[in-house]
Structure 1
Amino acid sequence: MPRTALIVIDMLNTYEHEDAEALAPSVREKLPGVTALLRRARAAESPVVYVNDNFGRWRSHHGEILDVALAGRHPDLVGPVAPAEDDLFVVKARHSVFYETPLAYLLGRLGTERLVLCGQVTEQCVLYSALDAHIRHFAVVVPEDAVAHIDGDLARAALRMMSRNMGAAICRAADVAFDD
């Protein structure tokens, strides 16, 4: 099996943005899938890489981003997915996890060939990240029960696009295999 990395997208969130109240119920519903993936990836010693928005805080680092998110409106959605000490962290400023970040370089150094994308938002950051992963020749897996959405119709369309246009494997979190 190719080396697999779990990419956790924007789960350290303050929920203080325009779409937060529409997003939070979906995050709550998808949280068990995300936490299951985290447990299994860590147990398999697969790389876990958090790629998170910096919320315009240009002097921020992962510890500060976590602290700000835990002080936000829904710490119950952040605490269960807080990075472990050995997890990796990349700060992003735009939708794709690859856009002007060192993620591709990091994944290359790790020998990664396959990405499991989880987090938020299915029809935005997850979709754009899947496209950017595809054009970089990564195999992409998106567990539908581990990606949260703002708009359910758009999320379903995004999952279909990832499958059809990018060859992404759309599955359940329980069906994802990590490196042994």
Structure 2
Amino acid sequence: MDFKAINPARTGLVIVDLQNDFLHPDGAYARGGQTSAAIAALPARVLPVANALRAAGGWIVSTQFTLVPGKGGEPFISPHLKELRPFLGKGDFCPGAWGHRLVDELQPADLSVEKVAYSAFYMTRLEWVLRKAGIDTLMVCGIVTNGGVASTVRDAHVRDFRTIVLSDGCAAFSQETHDRAIGDLGTVSRVMTCAEAEALVAGR
């Protein structure tokens, strides 16, 4: 696919899981002792791309990991996630709550989609809203590179969206894991830095 030029009006910046509960010092992961400098740095890196796309008439799409509350507000948590992150509990990643929201630095989003698994396409309305908005090109950023980002990009690829992965707009809990995932994603997607993506949106 030709990436020498894009139509910003048909382009969406898909921000995967950059939510308060993941990134903010008062969020669920910080309370559980799970922090990462590489992940915390992402909003500032992604913001210039978001601003360029907004100025050019593009779309900001926030996909937000969700723990759906059941009876008494206790969330449904997959066994593998509960084993990996035992600190997660009632109120974390709850729809409508502060922790569930896109971080302030990247607000506002034009489209927001709740997700319950790695891929933002799995059992969500994401494809429907993208098609309705006329979006055919996705710039994907967020966390984690080998999880939510990789799964979303691969699902977008098989749905015939043009995809661009922002290599420095994604992160994982280890640099080695991030680098390996970016290398793998290069087989199904174009890979660019945030600076390169910003220039592409601006037509430079």
Smaller-chain TM-score bracket: 0.7 to 0.9
Give the structure 2 partner of residue 68 of structure 1. Answer: 99
Structure with higher RCO (Cα < 8 A, 6+ apart): 1
Measured on the aligned residues, the alpha-carbon RMSD in Å equals 2.6
Give 1:78 shift.
2.7
Alignment partner of 1:175 is 2:196? yes
Q: Counterpart in 2 of 1:11?
A: 18
Alpha-carbon shift at residue 10 of structure 1 (Å): 0.4
Report the Cα distance in structure 1 between the residues aligned to 2:124 and 2:177, rounded to whole angstroms: 26
Larger Rg: 2
Q: Residue 47 of structure 2: SS of its match in structure 1?
A: helix
**Corresponding residue of 2:104:** 79
Alignment identity in percent? 23
Gaps of 5+ in 2: 1-5, 23-27, 74-93
Partner of 1:73: none
Q: 1:57 to 1:94 in 2, by over 3 A?
A: same
Instruction: Give the CA deviation at 1:49.
Output: 0.8
What is the alpha-carbon distance in structure 2 between the residues aligned to residue 175 and residue 98 of structure 1? 26
Using the TM superposition, give the Cα deviation of residue 69 of structure 1 relative to its aligned residue in structure 2, in angstroms.
4.9
Distance 1:31 1:148 in 2: 11
CA separation of 1:179 and 1:99: change in aligned 2, threshold 3 A: farther
Equivalent in 24, 38, 46 of residue 58 of structure 2: 46
Instruction: Name the CA distance, whole Å, in 2 between partners of 1:22 and 1:144.
Output: 22
- Output the TM-score relative to the length of structure 2: 0.72
Deviation readout 1:65-100 (Å, 9 max, x if unpaired) = 4x1357xxxxxx93312x21x621111111001001
Quick check: 1:155 aligned with 2:167? no
1:128 maps to amino acid: S
**Post-superposition CA distance 1:80-138 (Å, at most 9, x none):** 12x21x62111111100100111111111111111000111111100001100100011
Corresponding residue of 1:33: 45
CA contact (8 A) 1:22 1:150 kept: no
1:46–1:179 Cα contact (<8 Å) kept: no
